[in-house]
Amino acid sequence: MSSVAYPALWGSCSVGTMTGSHPLPEGFVAVVKEDCSTCVTVAPVLADLAGQVPLTVYSQDNPSFPAGAEPVDDSSLLMSWHHDIETVPTLIRVEGGVEQERIVGWERSQWLNFLGQESLAETTADFAPGCGSLSVDPGLADELAVRFGASTLRSRRVELARLEDEAEAMFDRGWSDGLPVVAPTEARVLAMLQGTTRSPDEVVAIIPPTLVEATVEQVAINAVLAGCRPEYLPVVLTAVEAACTDQFNMHGLLCTLWFSGPVLIVNGPIRNQIGMNSGKNALGQGNRANLTIGRALQLVVRNIGGGRPGVNGIDRSALGAPSKVGWCFAEDEEHLPAGWPPLSVERGFDPGQNTVTLFAGHGPIGAIDQQSRTPQSLTRSLAAQLMSVGHPKLPNEAMLIMTPEHQRVFAEAGWTKDDFRAELEPLLLLDGATAVRGAGGMDEGLPVDYADRQIPKFRRGSLMIVRAGGSAGAFSAILGGWIGGPRGSEPITRPIEA
């Protein structure tokens, strides 16, 4: 049988394995492994000391190594794990059952002083730095924490039968968005929690539509399901907090018949630290961080909040969009021209600050212009395509993702982002006479009492502009949005905390 942590919060309980006591023997304790050249170097020293001082040698990988020292088998790594052995050889002095001090590696004069000896057996070297302990090996550490540690996880465990396929079992239990998910074993969840300094039982947000509290631990479980790495967790936590605010209105976004879902844009050094893509194919496949962070947010909403599509689900979108699976990318800050601040700075944050911005969007709509060589021409081209978002006769929300080749036209002319906005905004006005219902032979449109007015296609400040994409290709992208204001979803930017 195998055990996985339940990804929702209801039915949680506290379970764990009691640690017990594992005292060290009196005198001196050495921890070694044969697969370490430094340990092999000090083997004659340990064999010689065995008859002179009270010495216990624990061997991690070969119970007969070192010869002559009567080693104790620690191949289970029980003692090494409980006593935080990070390097071998480690030499510890124990009095009254309590560790007094330790040294690591091999340096002859240091060992002489530590042991109070006047001489030690001859070795092949008088100094060697030591090797990593098996108990901190990346392939073993998480499992050892589960095997020997007192579990701090509170989520209910689900036992899978020995012949039950993990992937199919999680599909059957409804934990998936339709794609395969990673089994949230205790070891994987504990490893995921290492990505944040926040307490596992801290409440992150109240998740709609069921308005259930989600803890850091529960978010971590869903981040495992999504395929995240631990270093992505701070971004996921911030995204969950931002999505579950009145400003972003995740509940309303779930209930709308429109296409939109949360689109995440990451700014700051964390983009590069976790290996996000802001260049070629930034909106597409191929990058683990981009694909799994947004998916983790959606799985939290699905598994904890109950925000699911289907006959009885609250997600009522008529068609849906890829952003409902998860959509996240990074802005290409490094190549922004002078006068084009990153999205986060434009939204009030300091340069170099790690942030995540959420936009209720879908798409992308391709914005092609391969001929414009002046900023005036390109601005009009982009404006014409922006005017068609949603419907050419109705206001809407949008994000313009400008590629380097398009942005180069503005940079070479010395235009700043403010210059571009100043030129663009007058071009984004709906003429009431042609935008009201019935005009142009189209029943859709603005109410007839708008006939004598000009209406902004986008509310002031609501059109966000971001740089991303490969260096070649005169194609930018427009992400259509949902309604803004009190009845809809407002873009939100939050700082990312460790």
State the average pLDDT over residues 427-442: 97
Return the pLDDT at 81. Answer: 93
Rounded Cα gap, residues 128 and 396, in angstroms: 67
Task: Tell me the C-alpha distance between 214 and 8, whole Å.
Answer: 8
| Cα–Cα dist 214/220, whole Å | 10
d(CA 271, CA 289): 9
Which of 145-154, 195-204, 468-477 is the least confident region? Answer: 145-154
Distance, CA of 498 to CA of 495 (rounded, Å): 10
Prediction pTM value = 0.82
Alpha-carbon gap, residue 33 to 65, rounded angstroms: 7
Inform me whether the pLDDT recorded for 444 exceeds 60: yes
pLDDT band at 2 (very low <50, low <70, confident <90, very high): low
pLDDT digits (tens, 9 = 90+) for 321-380: 988 999 999 999 999 999 999 999 999 999 999 999 999 999 999 999 999 999 999 999
What pLDDT does residue 17 have? 30
Higher pLDDT pick, 419 / 8 = 419
pLDDT value of residue 162: 84
Residue 323's SS3 state is helix
Shortest CA distance to 117 belongs to which of 52, 40, 46, 26? 52
Overall average pLDDT of the 135-159 stretch:
83
pLDDT band at 486 (very low <50, low <70, confident <90, very high): confident
Cα 236 to Cα 276: distance, rounded to the nearest angstrom? 13
Cα dihedral 197, 201, 205, 206, rounded to 10, equals 170
Is residue 471 within 8 Å of 332, Cβ to Cβ? no
Per-residue confidence (pLDDT) for residue 53, from 0 to 100? 95
Residue 208 confidence (pLDDT):
95
CATH assignment of 27-136, among 3.40.30.10, 2.40.50.140, 3.30.70.20, 3.40.50.300: 3.40.30.10
In angstroms, the CA 355 to CA 331 distance is 11
pLDDT for residue 174 is more than 70: yes
Chain segment 408-424, per-residue pLDDT in tens: 999 999 999 999 999 99
Lowest pLDDT segment from 138-147, 211-220, 474-483: 138-147
Lowest model confidence (mean pLDDT) among 126-140, 228-242, 287-301: 126-140
The 10s digit of each residue's pLDDT in 89-134 is: 999 999 999 999 999 999 999 999 999 999 999 999 999 999 999 9
Looking at residue 15, what is its pLDDT?
29
Q: What percent of the chain has pLDDT over 70?
A: 95
Tokens of 147: 């095997």
pLDDT band, very low/low/confident/very high, at 11 (cuts 50, 70, 90): very low
Q: Where along the chain do its domains lie?
A: 27-136, 241-428+463-495
- For the cut 70, the answer to whether the pLDDT of residue 270 exceeds it is yes
Average pLDDT, whole number, for the chain?
Answer: 93
Distance, CA of 64 to CA of 72 (rounded, Å): 8
| Pairing label, strands 398-402, 464-467 | parallel
Q: Alpha helices, DSSP H only, in 268-403?
A: 270-273, 288-303, 343-346, 375-386
Quickly list H helices, 62-140. 78-82, 108-115
Residue 155, pLDDT score = 87
Q: Quick check: 310 pLDDT over 90? A: no
Pairing assessment for the beta strands 90-95 and 27-32 based on DSSP bridges? antiparallel
